[in-house]
Amino acid sequence: MILGRVALGAALAWGTYAWGAHLLTPACVWRGGRAQRRVALTFDDGPDPTWTPRVLDLLRARGVRGSFFVVGARAARAPEVVRRMAGEGHEVASHGWSHRSLWLCGPRRTAEEVGRSHELLTALTGCAPRHFRPPWGMVNAALFLALRRHGQRCVFWSVQPEGRRPAPAEAQARRVLARAHPGAIVDLHDAEGTPRAPERLLAALPVMLDGLRAAGYDLVTVAELLA
């Protein structure tokens, strides 16, 4: 009986720490202001040494800047790609150190996930990242203390054309163009979380870029969108 109560109490405490922390997410950023027709394209899970440079090539050819939420451990293995992002005017933001779900991280591990990525990206780009996106959008109570310590804001998204289930390139482009709105933050993936995600992104991205511009949207970074 006592052990059962202890287990129940521990489960409730962990549930409050992990899932209950989502009660704090209304204070996070989900979209920008509606006054101007501006959209921010964001790219998660990279840098991928093969696919991310191809995404950068495509953005450069069309004169578009985006925000890359990079995984610290992957950035450490491809530092030249991160430096290229910054050098071409893209925003380099944090997606944590290991892409581990924060639901599975205690306070110490959470602080490490935020802090290690923050330090590396600052060293690589010469500029401290201002924004953080939790892997899979999962937060815990310790995250908000860690972000405050490093001066970062938690950024989610208002348009996501592909989640955990793969979506064909045509469907992704169609969803972005149909759901775009002033202040939209679009969540895309330039590395493989979902199988072959960057391959589908490269096929969809030109249609997205051309379609958004044809609809009168300016394509900006998250930092510009929220300025």
Q: What is the pLDDT along the chain (227 residues), one digit of tens a residue?
A: 554 554 444 444 444 544 556 666 777 999 999 999 999 999 999 999 999 999 999 999 999 999 999 999 999 999 999 999 999 999 999 999 999 999 999 999 999 999 999 999 999 999 999 999 999 999 999 999 999 999 999 999 999 999 778 899 999 999 999 999 999 999 999 998 778 999 999 999 999 999 999 999 999 999 999 99
Q: How far is CA 83 from CA 49, 56, 116, in A?
A: 12, 12, 17
The one-letter code for the residue type at 6 is V
How many Cα atoms within 13 Å fall on the side-chain side of residue 142? Answer: 18
pTM metric for this prediction? 0.90
The domain segmentation of the chain, as residue ranges, is: 2-226
2-226 falls under which CATH superfamily? Glycoside hydrolase/deacetylase (3.20.20.370)
Active site residues: 44, 189
The set of residues, in sequence order, having a beta carbon less than 8 Å from that of 175 and lying 6+ positions away, is 159, 161, 167
Q: Please give the Cα distance from 63 to 112 (Å, whole number).
A: 35
